[in-house]
Amino acid sequence: MKARVTVTLKTGVLDPQGKAIEGALRSLGIEGVASVRQGKVFDIELEGTADRAKAEELLKQAADKLLANTVVENYSVQVLG
Amino acid sequence: MKARVTVTLKTGVLDPQGKAIEGALRSLGIEGVASVRQGKVFDIELEGTADRAKAEELLKQAADKLLANTVVENYSVQVLG
């Protein structure tokens, strides 16, 4: 079973990396970008779980414990089947 | 207009970071994870473009020129409207 966990910064948390990318895009001549915020994505392959709900539970645990810093980051879990 | 560019490693390209996460999950007692591959996600706000096709074109340019290294990475562009 495949799944994707997407981790993004919470609103209001500064993102200097995103700001740098904004500047770089502008200097490359790509106009029309108002803001950029960078996040992380984890493509996870699960084994031995046919149960979607169980898989989601497992991934939420993984995100809470390791993949995301829930003080400054949000995460979303998608089970792709 | 909001958009998301997701950058992932091409199949066959080694991902030591993903391997480390796999190991860490196992040692945290989270079982059932067969593999992890890490990628990047860019949440981009566009201004002055109401045209979906034009926005996609712009984002593809941005990904080709800056956001992704197309030698080892794939990217996908989603315009969220």
Distances (CA, A) of A59 to A79, B7, B19, B23, B70: 9, 21, 16, 15, 29
Cβ pair B62:A6 closer than 8 A: no
Check if CATH label 3.40.50.1000 holds for domain B2-79.
Answer: no
Contacts of A28 in chain B (CB under 8 A): 62, 65-66
Size of the A and B interface in Cβ pairs below 8 Å: 101
For the cut 90, the answer to whether the pLDDT of residue B81 exceeds it is: no
What b/e readout covers B20-37, taking b as 16+ CB neighbours within 10 angstroms?
Answer: ebbeebeeeebebbeebb
For the cut 80, the answer to whether the pLDDT of residue A67 exceeds it is: yes
Please, which pLDDT band fits residue B50 given cuts at 50, 70 and 90? confident
B8, B34, B39 ranked by CB distance to A45: nearest:
B34
A34-62: pLDDT as tens digits: 999 999 999 999 998 778 999 999 999 99
